[in-house]
Amino acid sequence: MIAAAAAAWMILPSASALADDPDFVAFGAGWFDWNRQKKQAAEINLEYRSDRKFWIFKPLAGAMATSTGSFYGYAGVGVDVFFGRRFVVTPSFAPGLYIEGGGHDLGHVIEFRSQAEFAYRFDDRSRLGFAISHISNASIGDNNPGTELFTLYYSVPFSKLFGR
């Protein structure tokens, strides 16, 4: 019982760490299909991460494109889990629409992204981190090969870019 309480205290976000966290524009660049290496490509990502909370979930929306012409637009939710003031782990889930282009056939236009991001938070609240993601159609298509992505992210507070 004591171990569970200690683990919860270390993992649960503190109110002070969350109170001043802004919304973000996240810029990403990485490696599409890094684990299977069948249809590898470079990928870029642009994502908006809201500061609004619905219980513990924060909405997000974004778009990803690959060097082989694939495109993925998505919207979903993430949860920020703080480890002290500096380190943030953000698991997220986002359904979206995938266009194969000249890239990897993922088996369906509807795809689901699950992701875990590990980031360092600077004094100005910007973040630098990396994420490992999995995109698949959850077997709603006849074919469900899925793919993994490795992405480096720099997340900038929205107000620093656009003033608010």
Position 6 confidence tier, pLDDT thresholds 50, 70, 90: very low
Tokens of 72: 């993925």
pLDDT in tens, 25-70: 999 999 999 887 778 999 999 999 999 999 999 999 999 999 999 9
What pLDDT is stored for residue 20 in this prediction?
A: 59
Each residue of 111-133: b (16+ CB within 10 Å) or e?
A: bbbebebebebeeeebbebebbb
C-alpha gyration radius of the chain: 17
Question: Model-level pTM?
Answer: 0.84
pLDDT of residue 75 exceeding 60: yes
146: left (phi over 0), alpha (psi -120 to 50) or beta: left
What pLDDT is stored for residue 9 in this prediction?
A: 44
pLDDT of residue 16 exceeding 50: no
Domains (range + CATH), the chain: 2-158 (2.40.160.20)
